[in-house]
Structure 1
Amino acid sequence: MSSPRVIVQILITGAQIFGKALYEAGKQAVKNAKHSPQGGIASDITGVRNATSTSVTDKLTRDHRMTLDEAHLILNVKRGEAMEQILKSYEHLFKVNSPRPAADPVAGGPRAGKQPTAPEYSHYLQSKVVRARERIEAEVELAQQEARPPGENQGLGASNKSSSPDAGSS
């Protein structure tokens, strides 16, 4: 066999192998794109998208754009933990991600002329910590409202109704 003929055969065989691999990868990519996992760990967007019912918990998830489990993960607390511990964790994470107070620059000091360093805080993380606290507080408030006796909730509504006509006649 001549050398050019062997080189051409190697190139053709390599191109065929590469083509088959590319075709199979494309098929797998289409299959993966069509597949929607039902179980496992879901992202925060998936958790918000799945909150489609009219339940109060789903409404809280949509309003805060965060599930209760995500809020607990962000604040590094367990479900059912005391609110004091949740607030302690919140305050620590909020403080850690807050901007540091600016130091007074000394004119002509050793750092004169150097570029300022990048910030050592994260506004994004700080806002996530705040939203996580708000989500947990909303859930606690909901649980407290459900724990109240039904007569107590009606009493508040009745007093508002009786004061409405007086306010309108003034």
Structure 2
Amino acid sequence: MAHRILTTLVVTGTRVFGRAFAEAYKQASASSKYAAEMKKGNVTGASTYASNGLTLDEACKILNVKPPQAGETQLETVMERFKKLFDLNDPQKGGSFYLQSKILRARERIEMELRETERKAKMDKELKEGWKPKVYKDR
């Protein structure tokens, strides 16, 4: 009888340890991929899943808008779609809080992409023109 209990204990312990090890490995792998993207300077690639787990393509599909072409998108259209879908899914009107949060995250993801594109454009412009600090002289 004791050998049966001991065997059950060993098998159960091995399963628990195996699952914990597999989960830790997944987490470490994701963390190293994130760190590699950050080291390359690819902030949008690193923050694609870090911020809310939503890619730009998914965000565009949720709000039913076209993906930004060369950093250009109709922000008015995005906001229009956001407001309409957000109001339609109001939990007090019988909507879904989950869908409402997905819609909010989609808008935030598109806005994040636009901010990143603007930042890169500003940086490229500054690199082309050269850095010209503003100098203020006291009289």
- Shorter-normalised TM-score: what interval? 0.5 to 0.7
Equivalent position of 1:95 in the other structure? 84
* Residue from 40, 50, 53 that aligns with 2:34: 50
CA distance in 2, matches of 1:68, 1:144: 25
* Residue from 154, 158, 161 that aligns with 2:134: 161
8 Å Cα contact 1:71/1:136 also seen in 2: yes
Equivalent position of 2:51 in the other structure? 66
Q: What TM-score does the superposition give when structure 2 sets the normalisation length?
A: 0.53
Q: Could you list the runs of 5+ residues in structure 1 that have no partner in the other structure?
A: 1-11, 103-115
Equivalent position of 2:11 in the other structure? 24
Which structure's residues are more often helix, by fraction? 2
Q: What TM-score does the superposition give when structure 1 sets the normalisation length?
A: 0.46
What is the correspondence of 1:6-17 to structure 2 with a 5 Å cutoff? 16=4
CA distance in 2, matches of 1:99, 1:137: 24
Look up the equivalent residue of 2:59 and give its one-letter code. Answer: I
Q: Could you list the runs of 5+ residues in structure 2 that have no partner in the other structure?
A: none
What is the total number of aligned residue pairs between the two structures?
Answer: 124
What do the CA deviations read for 1:78-135 (whole angstroms, capped 9, x no partner)? xx75243787567435521x235x9xxxxxxxxxxxxx95641534223312221122
Q: 48-57 or 138-147: which moved more?
A: 48-57
Look up the equivalent residue of 1:71 and give its one-letter code. Answer: L
Q: Work out which of the two has the higher radius of gyration on C-alpha atoms and give 1 or 2.
A: 1
